[in-house]
Copies of this chain bind each other. A is one copy, B any other.
Amino acid sequence: MSTIAKALNLLDLFTPARPAIGLSDVQRLAGRDKATVHRHLVALSDAGFLEQDPATRAYRLGHALTRLAAMRAQTVPAGDMVSSLVEDISRQAGELVHLSQLRGFDLVSISHAEVHDHPVRVTFDAAGLPPLFNTSSGKVILAYSAQPFVSAAMAEHQVRSGAPLQNDAVLRDIEAVRAQGYAATRDALEQGVSSVAIPVFDAQGGVMGACSVAYPTARGHDPKEIAALLIARGPDLTARLGGIVPTAVADIWNERHAVPERRQP
């Protein structure tokens, strides 16, 4: 392992729960010699990747990260930031995966991945804007949106489609979605097509978009398994777009879909 890797791995010790770490703690957590760790910390600090809290002398993430991340956000297309993850999910699920962002009352596509090894599959139409209702992506976005936005979206939908919505049913529906951390539909927008979606969050912890798996209902997937697949990648998806998963959602994702721990005998 190169010196560079050793130093950069130190940055991974910093988590939301442990945002500042002293020299001795870093040494323990990294399992390396204190002198080495110290030199690495100094080098990282000199480059602006870490800084020392003037009061406690503890190290925390530095301002260079902010600058470089802003540059990346500016220059790298959003699709490229998540395409590898979207492709991973698609490969695991063996179905169409689609990540879209909320823009006004519409969903615009950021990235998608198709599969080629099934004769029957759902195909992706990049031109069409999927609606906010009757899709798993839309439901999951509404579920994590503020109430006024939901009302406005319902009004807008009625104006556009002419068809009235069962307001109560919709509200109960998204309430259930919020409680389970993902949304699933079966033959909703199109006969014979099912889908499962999880939310993606922005830097303020607000819902920004959704990542969905769509598959022919006839394939007989268990929506829970598809959801587990998505949820396993959920934190990473949000992180790569510069967002933060709200702790409430993170808790639901962990407790409901984690690999069960072995109980004490």
Taking Cβ atoms with an 8 Å cutoff, the residues of A that contact B are: 2-5, 7-9, 11, 14-16, 19-20, 39-40, 43-44, 46-47, 49, 60-76, 81, 203, 239-244
In contact, B8 and A239 (Cβ under 8 angstroms): no
Q: How far is the CB of A203 from chain B (nearest CB, A)?
A: 6
Interface of A is mostly: helix
Q: How many copies does the complex hold?
A: 2
In contact, A65 and B63 (Cβ under 8 angstroms): no
- With A2-B43, A9-B47: A19-B71 Cβ-Cβ less than 8 Å: yes
Q: How far is the CB of A99 from chain B (nearest CB, A)?
A: 14
A15 contacts across to B, CB distance below 8 A: 71
In contact, A203 and B73 (Cβ under 8 angstroms): yes
In contact, A69 and B75 (Cβ under 8 angstroms): no
CA distance A81 to B70 in the complex (A): 14
Cβ 8 A contact of A47, one of B4, B46, B203, B244: B4
Cβ 8 A contact of A76, one of B60, B71, B203, B243: B60
In contact, A242 and B3 (Cβ under 8 angstroms): no
A44 contacts across to B, CB distance below 8 A: 4, 8
Q: How far is the CB of A50 from chain B (nearest CB, A)?
A: 10
In contact, B61 and A76 (Cβ under 8 angstroms): yes
In contact, B74 and A244 (Cβ under 8 angstroms): yes
A241 contacts across to B, CB distance below 8 A: 66
Cβ 8 A contact of A7, one of B4, B14, B74: B4
A73 contacts across to B, CB distance below 8 A: 66, 203
- With A49-B8, A61-B75, A75-B19: A69-B242 Cβ-Cβ less than 8 Å: yes
- 23 examples of A-B residue contacts, CB within 8 angstroms: A4-B7, A4-B40, A5-B47, A8-B43, A8-B44, A9-B47, A14-B75, A15-B71, A16-B75, A19-B71, A60-B75, A61-B71, A62-B72, A63-B72, A66-B81, A66-B239, A67-B239, A68-B69, A69-B70, A70-B203, A70-B239, A73-B203, A203-B203
